[in-house]
């Protein structure tokens, strides 16, 4: 009986230790922002990782990360009458809050060329 209690307590302790270890692996949330601008304005911005619509230029987009690790992003900008443009960049997620990130966005500017 005493041995069963010991084994049960040891198993519970190991489980709690494992949970603490896993929880400790996830770093604090950090944020980065990008201000997309196109010339001319009014281009749709699409994240090619998951085909999500990020908005129409000019647009401010915020990314959430962990521990300030940068994220590699590839987007496509397109507008009727202009050639599509694809650009890739690293989003620096070094800010502690969305508001802080949005106050200092990374600029991404794309010149759209007219279709012939």
User: Nearest 5°: phi and psi at 9?
Assistant: -65, -40
Q: Say what the pTM is.
A: 0.76
- In the chain the domains, ranked by start, together with CATH numbers, are 27-111 (2.60.40)
pLDDT at 27: 81
pLDDT at 70: 95
Per-residue pLDDT at 100 exceeds 60: yes
Residue 86: pLDDT band (50, 70, 90) is: very high
Average pLDDT, rounded, for the chain:
88
The token pair at 92 is: 């620096």
């Amino acid at each position: 009986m005493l041995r069963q209690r010991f084994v049960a307590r040891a198993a519970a302790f190991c489980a709690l230790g494992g949970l603490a270890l896993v929880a400790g692996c996830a770093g604090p949330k950090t944020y980065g922002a990008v201000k997309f601008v196109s010339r001319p304005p009014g281009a749709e911005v699409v994240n090619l990782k998951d085909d999500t619509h990020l908005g129409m230029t000019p647009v401010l987009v915020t990314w959430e990360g962990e521990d300030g690790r940068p994220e590699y992003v590839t987007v496509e900008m397109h507008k009727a009458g202009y050639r599509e443009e694809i650009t890739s960049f690293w989003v620096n997620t070094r800010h502690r809050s969305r508001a802080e990130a949005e106050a200092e966005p990374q600029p991404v500017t794309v010149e759209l060329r007219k279709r012939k």
